[in-house]
Amino acid sequence: MVADGIDLAKFGDVGDAQRLRAEFRLEPQAVAIGNIAALAPHKSQKDFVSAARIIKNEIGRARFFIVGEGELRGALEKQIRESGLEREVIMTGFRKDVLGILSLFQCFVLSSYLEGLCTSVMDAQAMGIPVVATRTGGVPDLVDHEETGLLVEPRDPPALASAVIRMLGDEHLRSRCVAQALARAQGYGWANMVEGTLSAYRRVLAGQELSSAIPA
């Protein structure tokens, strides 16, 4: 498998965090927990909102970001209102300064029940932000449970909430996951993806040349 690559140089300037904290009225003591994804069914932000109800009872200073736009915006806004989370959950809509917002997070949360590799997880790891994610698609290739993040089963908001609370409450676990994810992220550069793709093509072509030389 050849993994997706990201531009590691883009993390050199993620924007003005203080301006963003002021824009979102994020108090100095707030604990920012966020999800970045299109508002689509398979991204399952509804599970993130359900988990937020549980988390806020344990972490009173928690603030939850949903960054992205899509067809489920109305349904999510309704769920947030009905859950009494209007103050705690911030829906940013589509943003061009995603990395700046990501830099505010104390924990990045992926709630999808269907996923590819998820470059947002890669971005979070490269920025030293602890990750809690669902065990789906290619995510386990990025997140080793209890080593580079925490994994839970999809569509299980209590488990998702428990993992976030654990990550934020266990400094030793958090430090280990961040350090090991940062080390792994050094291999996420797009140049590695290009070289891996070229290498795969070379192997395929070499196999074809070998097979064509074998008599039928």
In a domain, 158, yes or no: yes
The residues pairing with 110 across neighbouring beta strands, listed in sequence order, are 133
pLDDT averaged over every residue in the chain: 89
Of 15, 43, 26, 18, the C-alpha closest to 90 is 26
Tokens of 1: 């498998």
Q: Does the residue 207 lie in any domain? A: no
- Are the beta carbons of 102 and 110 closer than 8 angstroms? no
The radius of gyration computed from the CA coordinates of the chain, to the nearest angstrom, equals 19
Predicted TM-score (pTM) of this structure:
0.85
Both tokens of residue 30?
Answer: 């707030």
SS3 of the chain: helix, strand, coil, percent, to 5? 50, 15, 35
Torsion angle in degrees (nearest 10) through CA of 200, 201, 207, 211? 150
Q: What is the pLDDT of residue 12?
A: 76
The predicted pLDDT at position 4 comes to 62
Dihedral (Cα; 87, 70, 130, 138), 10-degree rounding: 150
Q: Which helix (H) or strand (E) element contains residue 165?
A: helix 157-169
CATH of the domain at 16: 3.40.50.2000
56 part of a folded domain: yes
**Residue 81 belongs to domain spanning:** 8-189
Structure tokens at 16: 């003005």
Residue 200: inside a domain: no
Do 109 and 139 meet the contact criterion of CB atoms below 8 Å apart?
A: no
DSSP 104: T
Token output for 15: 């924007």
pLDDT at 23 over 80: yes
Which tens digits make up the pLDDT trace of 56-101?
999 999 999 999 999 999 999 999 999 999 999 999 999 999 999 9
pLDDT on residue 15: 78
CA distance 78 to 119: 28
Any idea which of 131-135, 153-157, 211-215 has the lowest mean pLDDT? 211-215
Q: What pLDDT score does 214 carry? A: 43
Residue 211 falls inside a structural domain: no
**Statement: residue 8 has pLDDT above 80:** no
Which has more confidence, 43 or 1?
43
Domain count, the chain: 1
pLDDT range class, residue 151, cuts 50, 70, 90 = very high
CA distance 133 to 87: 24
pLDDT (mean) for 117-132: 95
Taking only the tens place, the pLDDT of each residue in 24-39 is 999 999 999 999 999 9
14 part of a folded domain: yes
Residue 212 lies in a domain: no
* pLDDT of res. 208: 60
Q: Looking at the domain assignment, is residue 195 inside a domain? A: no
